[in-house]
Amino acid sequence: MNNRSRNRLLGVNKLLAEKVAEIISILEARFNCQVEVVQGFRTFAEQNALYAQGRTKAGNVITKAKAGQSFHNFGLAVDLCKFVNGKPDWNDEEFWLNLRNLARNRGLISGYDWKFQDKPHVQLGNVLPKTKR
Ligand SMILES: [Zn+2]
């Protein structure tokens, strides 16, 4: 695991971070590649900016979650990607399937299984923490 990933795991739930570190080392060995945490904790402001994308701002819709509706906002989710020669590879279906199975085997939830599929996404638990509004 590289330093960028290590830094992005700061602010992430400790149990999730431990499981993700284990998953990363298995995937790196299995696919002979680098696996990076591309997203960890996300602030409410960052979440709202993502939500605006494809709605009130240019780009494709990439999330259904507003601030407080994403597990990233609570350090309970990370997004992972395979890197080859320093470049992300978003199109290796075998990799996504392996990530999904490794996550599920550790009691984590994989965005791979969602109707609005989010293959890089792995999260701890299925109930969002309550927030004050
Ligand atoms: Zn995610």
Residue spans of the domains in the chain: they are 1-40+75-125, 41-74
Find out whether 80 and 74 touch, Cβ atoms under 8 Å.
no
Find out whether 80 and 99 touch, Cβ atoms under 8 Å.
yes
| Domain 1-40+75-125 class, CATH top level | alpha beta
Q: What is the pLDDT of residues 9-59, one digit of tens each?
A: 999 999 999 999 999 999 999 999 999 999 999 999 999 999 999 999 999
pTM, two decimals, is: 0.91
Neighbour count for residue 78 (Cβ, 10 Å): 30
Place of tokens 């279906």: 93
What's the confidence (pLDDT) of residue 10? 93
132 CA from centroid of ligand 1 (Å): 22
5 CA from centroid of ligand 1 (Å): 14
Compute CA 64 distance to the chain's CA centroid, rounded to the nearest angstrom: 15
Compute CA 55 distance to the chain's CA centroid, rounded to the nearest angstrom: 22
Helix then strand count (H, E) for the chain reads 4, 5
40 CA from centroid of ligand 1 (Å): 8
30 CA from centroid of ligand 1 (Å): 23
